[in-house]
Amino acid sequence: MNHYARSMAALMAIPAHWEIDIVVPVPLHRRRLRKRGYNQSELLARHICKREGLRLEAGALRRIKDTTSQTHKHKQERMKNVFAAFVVVSPDAVKDKTILLIDDVITTGATLGECALMLKHYGAKRVYALTYCAAID
Protein backbone atom coordinates (compact mmCIF):
# COMPACT_ATOMS: atom_id res chain seq x y z
CA MET A 1 0.00 0.00 0.00
CA ASN A 2 2.87 2.36 0.76
CA HIS A 3 4.08 2.13 -2.85
CA TYR A 4 0.65 3.22 -4.13
CA ALA A 5 0.50 6.06 -1.61
CA ARG A 6 3.93 7.30 -2.72
CA SER A 7 2.84 7.30 -6.38
CA MET A 8 -0.44 9.03 -5.56
CA ALA A 9 1.21 11.65 -3.35
CA ALA A 10 3.67 12.44 -6.15
CA LEU A 11 0.70 13.70 -8.18
CA MET A 12 -0.60 15.96 -5.41
CA ALA A 13 0.79 19.46 -5.90
CA ILE A 14 0.68 22.17 -3.25
CA PRO A 15 0.17 25.64 -4.76
CA ALA A 16 3.31 27.74 -4.32
CA HIS A 17 1.47 30.57 -2.52
CA TRP A 18 0.24 28.27 0.29
CA GLU A 19 2.55 28.83 3.24
CA ILE A 20 1.93 25.68 5.27
CA ASP A 21 2.94 25.29 8.93
CA ILE A 22 1.67 21.73 9.51
CA VAL A 23 -0.01 18.89 7.65
CA VAL A 24 -2.96 17.03 9.17
CA PRO A 25 -4.48 13.92 7.56
CA VAL A 26 -8.21 13.24 7.86
CA PRO A 27 -8.34 10.57 10.58
CA LEU A 28 -10.13 7.24 10.50
CA HIS A 29 -12.10 6.01 13.47
CA ARG A 30 -9.98 3.57 15.51
CA ARG A 31 -12.31 0.67 14.61
CA ARG A 32 -11.94 1.29 10.88
CA LEU A 33 -8.18 1.80 11.27
CA ARG A 34 -7.87 -1.52 13.10
CA LYS A 35 -9.88 -3.30 10.39
CA ARG A 36 -8.04 -1.70 7.45
CA GLY A 37 -4.60 -1.59 9.04
CA TYR A 38 -3.67 1.83 7.68
CA ASN A 39 -5.08 5.32 7.14
CA GLN A 40 -4.82 6.13 3.44
CA SER A 41 -4.90 9.88 4.10
CA GLU A 42 -2.06 9.60 6.58
CA LEU A 43 0.04 7.61 4.11
CA LEU A 44 -0.47 10.34 1.50
CA ALA A 45 0.33 13.04 4.07
CA ARG A 46 3.55 11.29 5.14
CA HIS A 47 4.84 11.20 1.57
CA ILE A 48 3.85 14.81 0.93
CA CYS A 49 5.60 15.93 4.13
CA LYS A 50 8.74 14.03 3.22
CA ARG A 51 8.81 15.52 -0.28
CA GLU A 52 8.02 19.09 0.81
CA GLY A 53 9.91 19.15 4.12
CA LEU A 54 6.71 19.85 6.06
CA ARG A 55 5.77 18.83 9.60
CA LEU A 56 3.15 16.11 9.99
CA GLU A 57 0.72 16.33 12.93
CA ALA A 58 -1.09 13.03 12.42
CA GLY A 59 -2.48 12.98 15.94
CA ALA A 60 -3.82 16.53 16.04
CA LEU A 61 -7.30 15.52 14.89
CA ARG A 62 -9.26 12.44 15.98
CA ARG A 63 -12.43 10.89 14.61
CA ILE A 64 -14.58 10.22 17.66
CA LYS A 65 -17.72 9.12 15.85
CA ASP A 66 -17.69 5.83 13.95
CA THR A 67 -19.54 7.13 10.91
CA THR A 68 -21.17 4.93 8.33
CA SER A 69 -19.79 4.85 4.79
CA GLN A 70 -20.44 8.03 2.81
CA THR A 71 -20.39 6.18 -0.51
CA HIS A 72 -24.12 6.14 -1.31
CA LYS A 73 -25.19 9.21 0.65
CA HIS A 74 -26.36 12.55 -0.75
CA LYS A 75 -24.80 15.83 0.38
CA GLN A 76 -27.20 16.50 3.28
CA GLU A 77 -26.84 12.91 4.52
CA ARG A 78 -23.06 13.20 4.34
CA MET A 79 -23.07 16.43 6.31
CA LYS A 80 -25.30 14.91 9.00
CA ASN A 81 -23.16 11.75 9.07
CA VAL A 82 -19.92 13.61 9.86
CA PHE A 83 -21.41 16.29 12.11
CA ALA A 84 -19.42 16.34 15.39
CA ALA A 85 -17.40 13.34 14.21
CA PHE A 86 -14.01 14.98 14.83
CA VAL A 87 -12.21 16.61 17.74
CA VAL A 88 -8.87 18.38 18.01
CA VAL A 89 -6.74 16.53 20.56
CA SER A 90 -3.65 18.74 20.24
CA PRO A 91 -4.94 22.33 20.44
CA ASP A 92 -1.43 23.77 20.81
CA ALA A 93 -0.36 22.03 17.60
CA VAL A 94 -3.03 23.82 15.54
CA LYS A 95 -3.40 27.21 17.24
CA ASP A 96 -2.30 30.08 14.98
CA LYS A 97 -1.13 27.63 12.31
CA THR A 98 -1.81 27.43 8.60
CA ILE A 99 -2.82 23.82 8.09
CA LEU A 100 -2.84 21.58 5.06
CA LEU A 101 -5.60 19.00 5.51
CA ILE A 102 -5.08 15.83 3.46
CA ASP A 103 -7.71 13.34 2.28
CA ASP A 104 -7.79 10.81 -0.51
CA VAL A 105 -11.10 11.74 -2.19
CA ILE A 106 -13.47 14.69 -2.06
CA THR A 107 -17.07 14.26 -3.15
CA THR A 108 -19.25 16.87 -1.44
CA GLY A 109 -16.64 18.28 0.93
CA ALA A 110 -18.62 17.28 4.03
CA THR A 111 -15.73 15.47 5.74
CA LEU A 112 -13.12 18.09 4.90
CA GLY A 113 -15.53 20.85 5.88
CA GLU A 114 -16.21 19.32 9.29
CA CYS A 115 -12.48 18.77 9.91
CA ALA A 116 -11.68 22.35 8.87
CA LEU A 117 -14.44 23.66 11.12
CA MET A 118 -12.96 21.88 14.13
CA LEU A 119 -9.43 23.05 13.34
CA LYS A 120 -10.64 26.65 12.99
CA HIS A 121 -12.64 26.33 16.21
CA TYR A 122 -9.40 25.45 18.00
CA GLY A 123 -7.57 28.44 16.61
CA ALA A 124 -6.12 27.42 13.25
CA LYS A 125 -5.26 30.56 11.30
CA ARG A 126 -6.10 29.04 7.91
CA VAL A 127 -6.98 25.58 6.61
CA TYR A 128 -6.27 24.42 3.09
CA ALA A 129 -7.41 21.04 1.79
CA LEU A 130 -5.68 18.80 -0.71
CA THR A 131 -7.05 15.53 -2.07
CA TYR A 132 -5.81 12.96 -4.53
CA CYS A 133 -8.99 13.11 -6.57
CA ALA A 134 -12.55 14.38 -6.72
CA ALA A 135 -15.48 12.03 -7.15
CA ILE A 136 -18.51 13.05 -9.13
CA ASP A 137 -21.53 13.07 -6.87
Give residue-wise pLDDT tens across range 77-134: 777 778 888 999 999 999 999 999 999 999 889 999 999 999 999 999 999 999 999 9
Residue 5 has a pLDDT of 93
Report the C-alpha gap between 100 and 119 in whole angstroms. 11
Domain that holds residue 68: 2-10+19-134
What is the value of pTM for the model shown? 0.92
65-74: average pLDDT: 73
Which residues sit opposite 126 in a β-bridge?
98
Number of domains in the chain: 1
Domain containing 59 — which CATH number?
A: 3.40.50.2020
- Mapping DSSP onto H, E and C, the string for the chain reads CHHHHHHHHHCCCCCCCCCCCEEEECCCCHHHHHHHCCCHHHHHHHHHHHHHCCEECCCCEEECCCCCCCCCCCHHHHHHHHCCCEEECCHHHHCCCEEEEEEEEECCCHHHHHHHHHHHHCCCCEEEEEEEEECCC
pLDDT at 73 exceeding the cut of 80:
no
Q: Residue 85 — φ and ψ, nearest 5°?
A: -85, -15
> Angle at Cα 58 formed by Cα 32 and Cα 29, nearest 5°?
20
Residue 68 has a pLDDT of 65
